Structure 1
Amino acid sequence: MDATADDLRAMLDRDRIRDCLVRLARGEDRRDAVTISASLWPDSITDYGVFKGSFDAYLAWVVPGADAITNTQHVLGQSFIDLDGDSAKVETQVISYHRVDMGEGERDTCIGGRYLDRMEKRDGVWRIAERMMLYDWFQDWGAAIDWSHGVMGMGFSGPHFSGRSVGDHSETFFGKGR
């Protein structure tokens, strides 16, 4: 291959790696086993510090997820991608929001950290082979908003505007299981 073809291949690999990371974040937020499964290899290992295990154990932990966590949102920042043929080491900044029912009502919490992923391309497909989460900060923002009042003093025109981990309007928008 010439230098331009090598550069294009590397650009496509980086784009497919980022697509895999975004797909996993959405799958975790929606607790969607199909989407999560398309992002990790079946022999992968995941280590979040509070959980470490095989792909099957991880999937059982995330789907359906803790009943106490009613909503999540993972916002991904930049990814540093170190390509090495059909493998890559990737560090991705993440801010994860969690609405948690701690027994005295729902609270809004937020974690900042970084995913360290070892990724592999098998048969032309990039997925995560190993993931570790590094935690940089945590914040408990306090009691969660009561969505029945809308936002900023303005009521919602319908019940589908507030998000949930499972069963919210995004499932209708994309079609369940997508």
Structure 2
Amino acid sequence: MSASPERIQALLDRQDILDCLNRFCRGIDRFDRDLFLSAFHADAIIAAGPFVGGPIVLYEWAQPLHETGQIATQHALLNFSCDLSGDTAHCETYYQFIGRNRDETIWMAGGRYLDRVERRDSAWKIAYRTNLIEWSGSLPALPLPFADVPDLEVNGAATRDRSDPSYWRPLVNRRPRTDA
């Protein structure tokens, strides 16, 4: 198969769309409002559980739920399919949500995001999203591994804001090497 300009453009579009979906996940997990909102067109409609509305109100609804309910959250994207048609794409993305609750249990849920993503002003963003929740469950939490390593957090500790090490530039090792 040749690398035609149309095929290359479709590949670039799919990557831009996947980057958009990842901004949503990272934005809510890090409580980065600007990053979260950058995944949506301002007039987007999102249907998530009992919520149906726009992206700003969605953030204002979801962020306090996660902050008061969980110590940490991870929205992981899995299988991704994308039907491109000009400046519109219809996507199905499997997800797993995992939250470490304040009572030290683990809540897990999985399902699929169904998105209509539109390119406007050269940017792919979500215009409509619905969330199909397909399963949910909980597990007892176990102690975090390597918690007894005294300098483990020298390279950073997970936070739910822009002080998280994932924002550090440049990202460098700050711990002494142990392989010498």
Aligned to 2:138: 140
1:51 aligns with 2:51: yes
Deviation at 1:171, TM superposition (A): 5.3
1:139-170 deviations in Å (ceiling 9; x for gaps): 2012x3445xxx16753524466534346632
Which ranges in structure 2 are unaligned for 5 or more consecutive residues? 171-180
Deviation at 1:78, TM superposition (A): 1.9
Deviation at 1:86, TM superposition (A): 0.4
1:14-37 deviations in Å (ceiling 9; x for gaps): 111011111111111101011012
Aligned to 2:32: 32
Query: In the superposition, relative to structure 1, how do residues 167 and 6 fare at CA in structure 2: closer, same or farther (>3 Å)?
Result: closer
Contact 2:157 2:165 in 1 (8 A): no
Higher RCO (C-alpha under 8 Å, 6+ residues apart)? 1
Aligned to 2:126: 128
Partner secondary structure for residue 155 of structure 1: coil
Query: In the superposition, relative to structure 1, how do residues 114 and 68 fare at CA in structure 2: closer, same or farther (>3 Å)?
Result: same
Aligned to 1:92: 93
Aligned to 2:41: 41
Contact 2:29 2:160 in 1 (8 A): yes
- Normalising by structure 2, what TM-score? 0.81
- RMSD (Å), alpha carbons: 2.4
How far apart, in 2, do the equivalents of 1:14 and 1:58 lie? 25
Contact 1:70 1:164 in 2 (8 A): no
How far apart, in 2, do the equivalents of 1:46 and 1:57 lie? 10
1:68-121 deviations in Å (ceiling 9; x for gaps): 2221111111211011110111000111111122xxx22111111110011000
How far apart, in 2, do the equivalents of 1:137 and 1:97 lie? 12
Corresponding letter in the other structure for 2:165: S
1:82 aligns with 2:80: no
Identity of aligned residues (%): 31
How far apart, in 1, do the equivalents of 2:119 and 2:108 lie? 32
Contact 1:46 1:54 in 2 (8 A): yes
Query: In the superposition, relative to structure 1, how do residues 94 and 156 fare at CA in structure 2: closer, same or farther (>3 Å)?
Result: farther
How far apart, in 1, do the equivalents of 2:143 and 2:161 lie? 18
1:170 aligns with 2:168: no
Partner secondary structure for residue 67 of structure 1: helix
Deviation at 1:62, TM superposition (A): 3.0
Contact 1:71 1:100 in 2 (8 A): yes
Which ranges in structure 1 are unaligned for 5 or more consecutive residues? none
Corresponding letter in the other structure for 1:12: L
